[in-house]
Every structure is written in C-alpha cells, then in structure tokens.
Structure 1
C-alpha cells in the first residue's frame, strides 16, 4: 500500500479467467471514446467480445464517436449489427475531445461497474475481468491500470508521461505510476459524483479523491500493445494543458469546500506585509521627520494593501459560490457511501 493508502498489485499478479470468476451480481459497462479510428472499429468490438465471451455477468460496450471525420461511427454500427454484440454507439455533434466523450459514455452507461479504455487497441480488453475482479473482491472504488511495459516511443510519449506522473504524484499525494492509462475500473455510484471537463480524464483518481478515500483506490499492472492502425492523437502540446489542469485539480482537492481559506491566507499575508511597510514608513515620517513621498516602498505597501483586500474579497465571493454549488447538490459538502443497506440504521 502506498503512502496515502493506494494499493498497488505486484507486477505479473494473475487472477482467475473470466469463466472461473466469482463475482457479486453486477452489470458491467465499458466506455470507449474514439476519434478517427475507422481501422480499429471492428477490431475493437471483436477484441471486447472475445475477452468477455465467458464473462459471468451482463455487460455492454458503449463507444462514443467524438465527431470523427471518417466512417468510424458507421463502421462501429455495421459491425455491431453483424455480430449481434451488446454495443451502443453514441455520435457527438463535433469533436469535443476525449474528456467530454468519456463523460458522455459515463452518462449513458447503465452498469453499476464502469470500465474506461482507449479505442486504439493499445489497451488489452482481456485485462478488464481482472480489474473488475479486484474492484469488487477488495471493495474498492477505482482500480487503475498501470502500463508497466509501455509500447510507445520514448522521447515523445514515455519520457513526458514519466515526468508528468512524477509531478502529479508529488503534488496530489496519490502514488499512481500511470495516470495516463485510460484502462480503469470504477464503481459507478462513486464515479458519477464527479463531472469531467476540459482535459480532466487524466486526473480522474485525483478528482475521485475529493469524494472517496485513497484507501479505496488501487493500481493493477496491465498489458500494453503497440498501435497497429491509425495515428496517435497525443503530442507534446498536451504537456502545458496537463500543468494548467493540475493547478485546478490541486485547488479542488484541497480547498473545494473551503475556498475562503485559500484566498484568505494569501490575502492576510499580503495585507499584513503592506500594513507593515506602511507602518514602518509612518514611523519614519512621524518620529524622524523623514520624507517618504518618493520611496518605492510606499507604493509597494499601498498596492499590497489593495491586493490583500482583493484576495479577501475574492475569498468571500468564493465562499458564496461554493454555498450555491453545494445547495444545488442538496446542501451536502460530503458524499454518503451507497452500501447494500444491511448495516444501515432504520429511517
């Protein structure tokens, strides 16, 4: 178990095959966003069908076509009809990017266990039963995949990913090795407590830490394959987006229910510094008769006082906004776990 409670399985650990899984009754939903992946459409459906052919519980595959400019959606629907697989295809009006497409799939999912994965077949669907088995057997809320042996280029993919993961681990306190891996299994009731925007799909464990304990998170080694068809949608440009999103994640992770503390501490520090400068200059003027009108310290102290007051005012406004936000969520700045009710008190 990691320093914050995230459980990491030993590399190479194996679990029973789907035919021999002993799982509680559940409905599995697999969410896959795709964009311009026409060459992988049929192969994806076949790979999921093969991996879950002996799965002992009902499942569905939800593929979200993120405004593809090729025939991805048509190829998915055609192959789903031909195979009779439990596949639903959702077509977005335009390219809203991966996070929005993933949220659309989560909203449409009917299962109480949700698995997300990429549509380029670099994730292996055969790992899905193993992730779900661990999620349910250990009563977890998320089991994230860890691509121990990545099959990507070092300079453009693996090195930036390693640096980003190291930075994210240090800032969020969640010792996941591979936050960029899309293959993850979730308890649907917990996943639906967060909404994904922007590029937030990379930080789902960090967002989930605002509604559940890191002790209910785990990481599991999974297989990773080289891309055989199509082109990657990722590049070095995502690095700056990751840094910007990391700031938002850190703020919400630590100050989502008390933004006034964040802005208030900064405001008091800046205001205190400004008052100290003005008090010092006031002492020089009143006690020693020195001319302070042309001193840069006077302007600095004045602007520090103004800036400190602005930070304090921003904190008050943020507190008002957060009260409105939680009011829309029935006035609760917390999340009650949805258990099976056996130990619940009588109403």
Structure 2
C-alpha cells in the first residue's frame, strides 16, 4: 500500500465527544505507528459537539499539524453522524475507524491492514480481553452480539468495537443514518463485502466517563429490525407486505365464508358475534398491508432510479471484451 498518484494510503477517522485529555496522546500514538510503517495517511477527527474544550484543541492542532483534519459539527449528532462526516472527508484508499478514548490501540492498525490485504473488504476488531464492567457492559454486549449475528447472518464476536478497516469503495456504497454505525458489518454484508475479524487490544479508559449505557438497548433493537428488513427485503418490500396482506385477507375471507354459511345455511344470527368484527378487521388489514407493499415498491424504485443506484455489486470483471481487444490492436 504505497503512494499512488498522490492518493493517500490510509484515512483514520476518529469521532470525538468530550475527549480533550485523550486527544494529544491519541494523535501522537497514531502518527508514530503509521510513520514507522511508511504509510501516506491522514487523521480525521470529527468533533461531535464537544463541550470540554475538545473543539478548541482540535482546531489549534489542525492548524499546526499537516496530517490532521478537524471536522467540527454544529452540535452533538451522535456517533453514526460523526462517522458519516468522517467518511465524507476521507481520501484514503483504506479507511480505519477507532474511538477517541484511548481504549482502542492504534498499534493494531497495521494488523488490520495486513488482514485486509488478504482479499477482505472489511476487517473488524474483536476486543477479546475487554477492559470494561462485566455487568453493565460485557454481559449486555455478549447477548447483543449473539442476537445481531443470528438476525443479520454476520457472526462477529464484537459488533461494538469501533476499530475497523474498510476499503474506501465499500464505504462509498453505504449510507449511514439513525444509529447504524454499530451495524456497519451487516450493512457491508448486504453490499456483498468479504468480512472477517481479528483479536485486538483493549485498554481501560484513562480519562473521563463512558458515553454508553444500558439506555441504548432500545435503539439497538430498533436499528436491528431496520437492518433485518434491509437485508431481506430492500429491493422487494412487496414480498413481506404483500404476503402479510394475503395471509390476513385470506383468513378474513375464510372466516367470512364461514359466517355466511351460518347465516344463510343454518339461519343463525351473526350480527352480535365478535367473529364478524374480526373478519372486518382482517380484511381491512389485508387491504392496507397490500397497499403498503405497493407504495414501498414505488419508493424503492424511486430510490434506486433517482440515485442511479444498482441493485447489484460487481466485485471484478475478468477477461477482455472484443471492443477492448480491437482498440489495443488498432494502436
């Protein structure tokens, strides 16, 4: 991974939120390691509305250092938005993300890049010996990783580890919103990426307090449902809404026939039966779900066509076309 036409080898994206004490040590450690490996690199620190002096410090350091780019957000948008901003301003062929709290070890970056060179598109870190509280952090994390792996089909030990390496073309195919940063491997899998993970170091927090807690559980569950739907039905939403609509409408129709037979075949009264209300609800729900499916299909078509976004991803093309061969022979 050497310099090629002045394109940087590596962009390091670091979301920052109230980490003023960690920033100087983090920048020096990253630059020392990457200079030893002779990488052409840049460090992009995205200040996500810090209130402890991180903004001022990053602004000053960015004016002094040639390897640092400070992206200052107007307010606190969250880690997903901060990472998306960092990705936008990254110019390297490979993008590496890590936290700004010194818990991720920059010394692991060359290991990620070496693994990436084996043909992978995304290499995720695995904090095998994680230095966090067992009850509030480790146990919920293990449960969440297991559930996410089963739902998405991407089995990683540590979805929450920010230390990851991506090929830049992979990032270009993904749009981040909400709080989907923790599901980047699953989103990459949807795009057809080759994914693996390697054990990385993890250090206890030196300064400040963790920004994460049990309160994020609800958001993780909601985002997981979003990723599951995207994985299964991104280009065919009618398959889920239409099927649910047919099932609901079919059951309602069968129950309606049953009530009709009771009414006209046996002369029984059906007006005071709760089953009649259920039939009406099921038929209306079936119609609505089927309509949602049609609307979702139109939205998906508009989304793909307006952005000229293909429904497939080509990894490589092997062989010469007849037109290419003709041009070479003519020269």
SS in 1 for 2:270: coil
Given the superposition, is the C-alpha separation of residues 102 and 344 from structure 1 closer, same or farther in structure 2, using an over 3 Å criterion?
Answer: farther
Name 2:329's counterpart in structure 1.
none
- Measured in 2, the distance between the counterparts of 1:97 and 1:344 equals 46
Q: What do residues 146-197 of structure 1 show as CA deviations (whole Å, max 9, x unaligned)?
A: 0000000011111111111111111111110100000000011011111111
Partner of 2:327: none
- The 2-side partners of 1:93 and 1:244 are apart by 26
What corresponds to 2:35 in structure 1?
53
Query: Following TM superposition, by how much is the alpha carbon of 1:71 offset from its aligned partner in structure 2, in angstroms?
Result: 1.2
RMSD across aligned positions (CA): 1.7
Match of 1:311 among 277, 289, 299: 289
Partner of residue 189, structure 1: 169
* Residue 320 in structure 1 maps to residue 302 in structure 2: no
Deviations 1:229-270 (A, max 9, x none): 111110110111100100100000110000010101111111
Looking at structure 2, the residues matched to 88 and 289 of structure 1 have their Cα atoms a distance apart, in angstroms, of 81
Of structures 1 and 2, the one scoring higher in RCO (CA 8 A, sep 6+) is: 1
Q: Secondary structure at the match of 1:128?
A: helix
Matched residue SS, 1:53: helix
Give the aligned partner of residue 251 of structure 2. 273
The equivalent of 1:8 in structure 2 is none
Q: Does 1:122 align with 2:106?
A: no
Please state whether the residue corresponding to 2:272 is helix, strand or coil.
coil
1:70 aligns with 2:44: no
Q: Does 1:301 align with 2:301?
A: no
Shift of residue 49, structure 1, vs aligned partner: 1.2
Q: Displacement, 1:309? A: 0.5
**TM norm structure 2:** 0.93
- Structure 1 segment 163-312 matched on structure 2, within 5 A: 163-213=143-193, 216-312=194-290
Measure the CA separation in 2 of the matches of 1:24 and 1:334.
Answer: 31
Is it true that 1:133 corresponds to 2:114 in the alignment? yes
Gap change, CA 1:279 and 1:23, over 3 Å in 2: farther
- 1:104 matches 2:85: yes
Residue 297 to residue 140, structure 1, CA distance change in 2 (3 Å): same
1:16 — aligned with what? Answer: none
Which residue in 2 is equivalent to 1:34? 16
2: CA distance, partners of 1:175 / 1:24:
34
- The DSSP-based 3-state class of the residue aligned with 2:190 is coil
Give structure 1 stretches of 5+ with no counterpart: 1-21
Q: Are the aligned partners of 2:152 and 2:186 in contact in 1 as well (CA < 8 Å)?
A: yes
Q: Which range moves more in the overlay, 72-81 or 167-176?
A: 72-81
Give the count of matched residue pairs.
320
Shift in Å, 1:285: 1.0
